[in-house]
A and B are shown apart, each in its own frame.
Chain A
Amino acid sequence: MAYNSILDWVKFTDPMTSSGYPYGDVYNLPYDIGYKIWELISGLIAWLIDLIVPGNEVSTFLTETPLLTNLLSITLMVVVIFAVGFIVNLTMIWEERKVLGRMMDRRATRVGPLGYFQNLADGLKTFLKENITPSSADKKGYMWALTILIGTSVLLAFMIPLSGRWFIVDYRTGLLILFGLFAIAPFMILVAGWSQNNKYTLLGGMRAAAQMISYEVPMLIIFASVALMAGSLNINDIVNAQHEYMWYIIPQFLGFIVFIIAAIAEAERIPFDLPEAEAELVEGWQTEYSGMK
């Protein structure tokens, strides 16, 4: 095979035809994107090396090894998923701030083009803040309650199947695991509020726990109705059932509205911001957490 131009190195083949394709006969879009990015990178490197040392082994190793292509495609796929999640998150916060600013007749975000980098600047500022642990706080509870809280939230994100064959958990009672993880958060908030040894945080923690537990009841009912419709507690089965039948948002429209309201309450946003209660409890259970905590 003659490698004359760069196009010979960067082939953009269909990943399903390659020998190392890990998903059988199911098409996987994130893998495809990762595969194409790796093909571009490896092709460029191989082309450059081939320009200097024509006919070497490294160039062909980079482009032709199925195991290497497979591994790096999956790595790039994870990077792409994280990047997309990050950008979507950033864009949504930016959008909300812009709309709020327009409503309140003020400038919303100012850093970067259209103020898009304001969130990055704010995040950087928060990273540079000093980390203060109150001397009277219970150190273990203070540190670990928040760690477990964030940990369970991130674990919840991993329970979501991203495509037909890209998931981490495929278990018969996946929904129950999800709910178990969900139920940890109120207790951790209570511990966090208690461990800071501050009356505001204690009251805020109690309020947060009470509110989150009470809004979990309607959420559980909605989840149960979805599970009943799909006839399974497996999240992948629920997703597939929607693919075959129709989106459950249509038959379960009432449930969808209740879920949105309950989700807002769980996230402690206005008008469900009792636990945070800026006016009377300073910042609720987060009062003593400083810096990036």
Chain B
Amino acid sequence: MADMWVTMGPQHPFSHGLWTLKVRVDGEVVKDAIPVIGYLHRGWEKECENRTYPLIIPMADRLCYSASMTWSHVYCKVVEEAMGIELSDRAKYLRVVADEICRLQSHLMWLAAMGTDLGNLTVFLWALREREFFLDLNVKLCGQRLTTNYPRLGGVRNDMPYFFERDCMRAVNRFEKVLWEIIGLTDESSIFLSRMRDVGVISRKDAANYGLTGPTMRGCGVDFDVRRDDPYCNYDLLDWEVPVCKEGDAYARYKVRIEEMFQSCEIIRQAMAKLDSIPKTDPIRVKAPRNVPAGTHFARVEDPRGESLMYLVSDGTDRPYRLKVRSPIFVNVSASKHLVQGVRIADIPAIMGTIDMCLGETDR
């Protein structure tokens, strides 16, 4: 059979958003692939140039619906660095807690999507069931399920509500047990293992050349995590580990994400203990000036999907001159041609599922 181009997307069960993967197939074997993105381009960066600094925080939430907390965090971080504001300890740990809750629910969303990609609806429903507990925590802490709008320039919006610590600990302790049930559905299923192992292999060197970040990079043996190696928000004062796998296949990326969920639980537990020791009088928010002094700054945080970075050029007014977003998925998806080279069509959902696509931040 002659080669043919199959256009997978933009409305396709595997794409998890609006993007297209054009694959050249010879029968069932994939020879070539071209990712096509840009269906969701909203002019986000240009829109930011017309808004004052505080007004951009809710917009940063909309970059990615399931990692909204980290995106507004990275925006606040870059502006705070430009303003030269140092956060109080209490605000830092509150941001840590909110970030890790966001990471947990984002990874659970990914696990659910992974389940449907492989035809396992039980994983989908169980993972989404557990995700609800963390969305409830989001509601208690931030008042919203997904687009949290929680960080402010110079701190966070509000302190923890009453009983939040108790609820948070309950959810985390319960989740650490229940996650093993979900792992039992995946890791003990030979179908799951045979579909995930040895597909979409990328080497350490290729990963570096493509600029992959996040679990995709840690899945092929690169031991790098922004939270540990470029610490922010007192992450260096907490005791946790960065999960790394050497294989570089889809299963390694899956294992890294699962292990990250356990580590997030550990981080939440320690951050809560630290919050206990900080007096309630510690301010959660420092007053931020209206204008930002002229200059260029960048800040990065560890997104659930990789390294999210914002580059700010300010000209001394109350609006940014330029705000550039470095999206982890925009970079990671460029490796899709390398990842799907030589695999079968049936492996494409399993491989691209482990990239954890989010189109809001990719197209901006």
Q: Which positions in A face B, CB cutoff 8 Å?
A: 100, 103-106, 199-200, 203, 207, 270-271, 273-274, 277-282
Whole-angstrom CA separation of A273 from B116 in the bound complex? 13
Contact B12 A282 (CB under 8 A): yes
**B14 contacts partner chain A, Cβ-Cβ < 8 Å:** yes
**Can you name the residue of chain B whose Cβ is closest to the Cβ of A283?**
B13
Contact A106 B346 (CB under 8 A): no
Contact A278 B119 (CB under 8 A): yes
Chain B residues whose CB sits within 8 angstroms of the CB of A277 once the complex forms: 346
Contact B119 A280 (CB under 8 A): no
**B169 contacts partner chain A, Cβ-Cβ < 8 Å:** no
Contact A106 B125 (CB under 8 A): yes
Whole-angstrom CA separation of A274 from B348 in the bound complex? 13
Contact B125 A104 (CB under 8 A): yes
Which of A103, A203, A279 is the one whose CB lies under 8 Å from B122? A103
The count of chain B contact residues (Cβ–Cβ below 8 Å) is 23
**B87 contacts partner chain A, Cβ-Cβ < 8 Å:** no
Interchain nearest-CB distance for B13 vs A (Å) = 6
Chain A residues whose CB sits within 8 angstroms of the CB of B125 once the complex forms: 104-106
**Can you name the residue of chain B whose Cβ is closest to the Cβ of A276?**
B119
Which of B4, B14, B129 is the one whose CB lies under 8 Å from A199? B4
If over half of A's interface residues share one DSSP class (helix, strand or loop), that class is named, otherwise mixed; here it is helix
Chain A residues whose CB sits within 8 angstroms of the CB of B36 once the complex forms: none
> Would you give 29 A-B contacts (Cβ < 8 Å), ordered by A?
A100-B121, A103-B122, A104-B125, A104-B126, A105-B125, A105-B129, A199-B6, A199-B7, A203-B6, A203-B25, A203-B28, A203-B345, A270-B119, A271-B191, A274-B346, A278-B13, A278-B119, A279-B14, A279-B117, A279-B119, A279-B349, A280-B8, A280-B13, A280-B14, A280-B345, A280-B346, A280-B348, A282-B12, A282-B13
Interchain nearest-CB distance for A202 vs B (Å) = 9
**B288 contacts partner chain A, Cβ-Cβ < 8 Å:** no
**Can you name the residue of chain B whose Cβ is closest to the Cβ of A103?**
B122
Whole-angstrom CA separation of A281 from B126 in the bound complex? 25
Q: In this complex, which of A200, A271, A281 has the most chain B Cβ atoms within 10 angstroms of its Cβ?
A: A281
Contact A279 B126 (CB under 8 A): no
**Can you name the residue of chain A whose Cβ is closest to the Cβ of B123?**
A104
Chain A residues whose CB sits within 8 angstroms of the CB of B14 once the complex forms: 279-280
| Beyond A105-B129, A199-B6, 4 additional pairs, beta carbon < 8 A | A105-B125, A203-B6, A279-B13, A280-B13
Against A, the Cβ 8 Å flags (1 = close, 0 = not) of B260-295 are 000000000000000000000000000000000000
